[in-house]
Structure 1
């Protein structure tokens, strides 16, 4: 008796839902296509599920399924569960470089009035055209450079938003450099994760970032700009090539940060006279 009353109540609610959807369609002018909708049952018998689908005039779906392109149901902690989403976003980001170059080509052709009319000479270098007006350009902008700037903004946010959930996800999946501050560059060839495209501009991006030493635990000796206008890796490429302490912090290379400071460079071989000087 209780089960019958409960089932009758469920059917009444479904009929009310069906009426609400019809009224919504009449008032808004939109058509609610129940034929493309589906009912998903949780801990229900198949005959009960079929009965409710018939009342609404829709089909039956099974978990997991997609809603607005995102998966619903299944193990949310499983990496395989999110793989379709990650792969889809990764493909779009990887294709953006080609799209950006194609757009710039269209802009150049439009500026020089060329459209399948054969080769024409460009009167002004495109890099000069892309400059700001006060610098002698037309302020058109460089799409590729703008894209790199937007990607670099995520690297900057990774430094600042250390308590955020997305920072924890990136940190746990890809790890960080020895300084515990910067994300590692994703080098896996079959990886299509969005962070791969972001992390691969790290070397170029970090050259324009200057840091304060502080305790020296979060600043890399060779790669970070902490003295002068560029990093030691750029100023002394030959020494950097034979150094074993890539991505090592200042604190790990200094025996003491108190004067006089002694350094442990850990080169792979003895330096010649020119390198030592």
Structure 2
């Protein structure tokens, strides 16, 4: 449909012709409901009138103006369909450095939103991630350091410091860690601050003796540590929850959204990082190896489980089955190894494909349809 818009607007000579095309498409092609004409022509008229008044057409193309107007149409249609209005007071506009100032002002004025020059926060999270990840997530470290400086560690017992670290300080970054994978430099600085506080120093300038490293304190108490969280592992576990949803909840909205953008022809384990990915996807994609190490199929019909690509054999420590036959049968699934009416494995085929040990483990693997 957008291609049709381009073709129609290439020869348009005036605002009247453009609006005639819009109204025609609205009624004849039924691309938008009649609400388009009643509610949105006024918006398009205002945008084009502003552009003509300020002689902006020589600066940027007429197609740009019209496409921007159509985006306003989509926003209005969304609000009417779902009954959810966009809060313009909480909305901000960020444009790339290649965007002309006149176009920035036009969009901001028409939408009634404020322009921002850099990253901003929404619901406590950065809405955009810049090139410097350390600068973007520095606010997490600052919040922890401000909290430490508000306490007097000399008045606290060792048990009191343990409670504050586990219940207060380590909970501060958990919200951000549930969405983003924090840079290693930020995590190292946070752990250094927690180590300072644990040994009774609430100032970076105070040099005291640290009897144990933070890695040693992160060990469970039964093994001689204090049982505090290792932030890198905790961060990976939090992000890994979203990765697991992409595997287990295939019909969820977030799974369908990410799949359509990053791995439309494969599953999560076969996805690549892609070209110019978002930082959220980079974080979720980084948890792939962790999920894979703890992942194993429970066999039902086996129609969608490839034999060679995922672990599925019981009594095998999540090792992929390997044999020279995988070159001859690259697309075989587990359903091909089953005799469904008799509810048993195809022993003859399995003994042909696999060695004795692997075949015995396959025969001991339970199929949940039996």
State the secondary structure of the residue aligned to 1:88. Answer: coil
Tell me if the contact between 1:185 and 1:196 (Cα under 8 Å) persists in the aligned partners.
no
Q: What are the within-5 Å matches in structure 2 for residues 121-200 of structure 1?
A: 122-175=210-263, 180=267, 182-188=268-274, 190-200=276-286
Q: Distance in 2 between matches of 1:137 and 1:147?
A: 20
Q: What are the within-5 Å matches in structure 2 for residues 28-39 of structure 1?
A: none
Q: What are the within-5 Å matches in structure 2 for residues 1-277 of structure 1?
A: 42-45=43-46, 68-69=91-92, 88-89=128-129, 93=180, 95-112=182-199, 113=201, 115=204, 122-175=210-263, 180=267, 182-188=268-274, 190-221=276-307, 223-224=310-311, 226-228=313-315, 230-233=317-320, 250-251=333-334, 254=337, 258-260=345-347, 262=349
Give the stretch that moved more between structures: 108-117 or 209-218. Answer: 108-117
Give the aligned partner of residue 59 of structure 1. none
Give the stretch that moved more between structures: 185-194 or 85-94. Answer: 85-94
State the secondary structure of the residue aligned to 1:203. Answer: helix
State the secondary structure of the residue aligned to 2:317. Answer: coil
Report the RMSD for the aligned CA atoms in angstroms: 5.0
Give the aligned partner of residue 3 of structure 2. none
Q: Distance in 2 between matches of 1:154 and 1:98?
A: 23
Residue 165 of structure 1 deviates from its aligned partner by 2.2
Classify 1:255/1:157 alpha carbon distance in 2 versus 1 (closer, same or farther; 3 Å): closer
Post-superposition Cα deviations, 1:56-78, rounded to whole Å, max 9, x if no partner, equal xxxxxx867985237899xxxxx
Residue 148 of structure 1 deviates from its aligned partner by 0.6
TM-score (norm 2): 0.40
Residue 95 of structure 1 deviates from its aligned partner by 4.8
Q: Distance in 2 between matches of 1:260 and 1:190?
A: 48
Larger relative contact order (Cα-Cα within 8 Å, sequence gap ≥ 6)? 1
Residue 198 of structure 1 deviates from its aligned partner by 0.7
Post-superposition Cα deviations, 1:193-247, rounded to whole Å, max 9, x if no partner, equal 41122112211222123331222334454542542252114xx8xx69x9769x9
Give the aligned partner of residue 78 of structure 1. none
Q: Distance in 2 between matches of 1:135 and 1:224?
A: 32
Q: Distance in 1 between matches of 2:352 and 2:193?
A: 50
Tell me if the contact between 1:100 and 1:143 (Cα under 8 Å) persists in the aligned partners.
yes
Which consecutive unaligned segments of at least 5 residues does structure 2 have? 1-41, 51-67, 73-87, 95-106, 109-118, 121-125, 137-179, 354-370
Q: Distance in 2 between matches of 1:158 and 1:47?
A: 43
Q: Distance in 2 between matches of 1:260 and 1:187?
A: 40
Tell me if the contact between 2:181 and 2:239 (Cα under 8 Å) persists in the aligned partners.
no
Q: Distance in 1 between matches of 2:300 and 2:338?
A: 15
Which consecutive unaligned segments of at least 5 residues does structure 1 have? 1-40, 50-61, 74-83, 267-277
Residue 264 of structure 1 deviates from its aligned partner by 11
Residue 116 of structure 1 deviates from its aligned partner by 5.0
Q: Distance in 2 between matches of 1:89 and 1:138?
A: 34
Residue 173 of structure 1 deviates from its aligned partner by 1.6
Tell me if the contact between 2:337 and 2:345 (Cα under 8 Å) persists in the aligned partners.
no
Tell me if the contact between 2:181 and 2:283 (Cα under 8 Å) persists in the aligned partners.
yes
Residue 146 of structure 1 deviates from its aligned partner by 1.0
